[in-house]
Amino acid sequence: MNRSLSILSILLTATASAVAAQEADYTRGIIWVNEDWYGHQNSTVNYLMPDDPEGNFWKYRIIQAENPGKELGCTNQYGAIWNDRIYLIAKQDKDPGATITGGRITVADAKTMKILHQQSLIDPSGSQCDGRGFIGVDEHKGYISTSNGVWIFDLDSYTVTGQVEGSANPNAGGDNDKPNTDPTGSLYHGQSGMMVSAAGKIFVAHQQYGLLIVDPAEDKVVNVISMDIVQDGAGIGSVIKSKDGALWISVAKNCQGTGVALNYIVRLDPVTLDYEIIPVKDGFYAPANSWYAWTPDAFVASSVQNCLYWKGGPNRWFTGTKIYKFDCDTREQTLFIDLEEEGANWKLYGCAIGVHPETDELYMALYHEFGTPTYITRRYSPQGEKIRDYEMIMNYWFPSLPLFPEGGSQSGIHNILSDSLSSIGNLYSINGIIVKRNIEYGDWPDISPGIYIWKSGDTTRKILIR
């Protein structure tokens, strides 16, 4: 009898584990990549379910949770989801205070967060080469930008096969190379940063040269646009792509990584390479740049509206209270969000802002001061109205950026057929507050118009009541 109970217990445990594994689907929510606390621990990834009706919004450190004994590398600033995998790029493979060595490159299944591959080096020769960003070129190839050029990454074998010709840091090599912790090192004066794909080419922000135009068929730089078009000696900050396919460039005062921005943005046609230099409105600030301690920059585009958002302020990178909006069609510039008006001393941390590709809502990670481990994620409507705050457990997260799964809803809600629904369930507000219990599905005559969550058993659905 005891033996039978033991076998039954094992079977039930195995079944429960299988169900739990089946239910792990991180493409249903928003993934936050965190630098985390340099000098103490490796970088981390958190998972936000913004519309969870039970109020269970956060899962923390999901890479460690799904991969016991494994972690990311040090100062992981960038992540990208490409063909059902997530590519996480760190500056170094291990934080000085960590006990586990991660990788400069980490590849995981985007749905389960199970690590598929990690490697410590980007440059196979072992030379200093710290990670920056990633872009998928096609199903077999990606590019990784670094402190020394852009590298070709085979997505089938997970191997670095070479460097994009013409992308190297001209200061690299010899005794002048210094570690990532020393910003006076030569590799902080010729880095490669953000990358976008347009018109069959890859466009790369290069600190010293400007905008590199790469032919991915040849893995070679075929053209360069210097920021001298704006002002002699000017440098590039970042490059993004708007809904209409145009490229937009932020401008640094110089190539030295001082963080000073020029009060312009540049529009570039990726086909003709015609450009337009647009002054930033008097009294407003241009997008901040961060070559001295590279991040993707708080300069983002909407996928729904043809508009841009950016952070700017008088104190370069460390001013994080003003978010500007730029209409790419009308060229209208507005102060979209001013955190100072709230009076709660919240600031946007670094580059931690993203635009939801379907709802057009803005998500931002806010903090008070560098020495305070208090962070929240805030959600804004497309009109700039605060929807809600998501409080976080205390930690020096230093968030980098949110990732929204490619081509799918990030609401955390399954779209299912009406005839598969149980007829009775509970109705919640978008903020997770109960509106009505034991309501029949579709029986909404007394419910005010708006977006709601309907939950019956294990089934959850987002509904729009008009």
User: So where are the chain's domains?
Assistant: 26-403, 418-465
Q: What is the DSSP letter of 217?
A: T
**AA letter at 26:** Y
**Mean pLDDT score, 284-308:** 95
CA dist 76 and 217 (Å) reads 29
pLDDT reading at 213 higher than 80: yes
**Mean pLDDT score, 151-175:** 93
pLDDT tens digits, 102-119: 999 999 999 999 999 999
Lowest mean pLDDT among 111-125, 354-368, 393-407, 413-427: 413-427
Comparing CA positions, the residue from 166, 135, 168 lying closest to residue 153 is 135
439 with 460: CB under 8 angstroms?
no
- What is the pLDDT at residue 177? 61
CA dist 42 and 72 (Å) reads 6
- Does residue 53 or residue 48 have the better pLDDT? 48
**Distance between first and last Cα of the chain:** 59
Structure tokens at 103: 């990788």
- What is the pLDDT at residue 457? 66
CA dist 103 and 178 (Å) reads 19
Compute and round to an integer the Cα radius of gyration of the chain.
23
131 with 180: CB under 8 angstroms?
no
CA dist 443 and 439 (Å) reads 7
- What is the pLDDT at residue 354? 98
CA dist 396 and 371 (Å) reads 8
Q: What is the DSSP letter of 319?
A: -
pLDDT reading at 281 higher than 70: yes
- What is the pLDDT at residue 17? 39
- What is the pLDDT at residue 188? 77
- Does residue 446 or residue 230 have the better pLDDT? 230
**Mean pLDDT score, 221-240:** 98
Lowest mean pLDDT among 212-216, 227-231, 364-368, 420-424: 420-424
- What is the pLDDT at residue 94? 97
Place of tokens 């529009």: 267
What CATH code would you report for 26-403?
2.130.10.10
- Phi/psi class of residue 392: alpha, beta or left (left: φ > 0; alpha: ψ in -120 to 50)? beta
Number of Cβ within 10 Å of residue 160's Cβ equals 18
pLDDT reading at 217 higher than 80: yes
- What is the pLDDT at residue 387? 97
pLDDT tens digits, 332-342: 999 999 999 99
Q: Among residues of the chain, what percentage have pLDDT more than 90?
A: 73
- What is the pLDDT at residue 308? 99
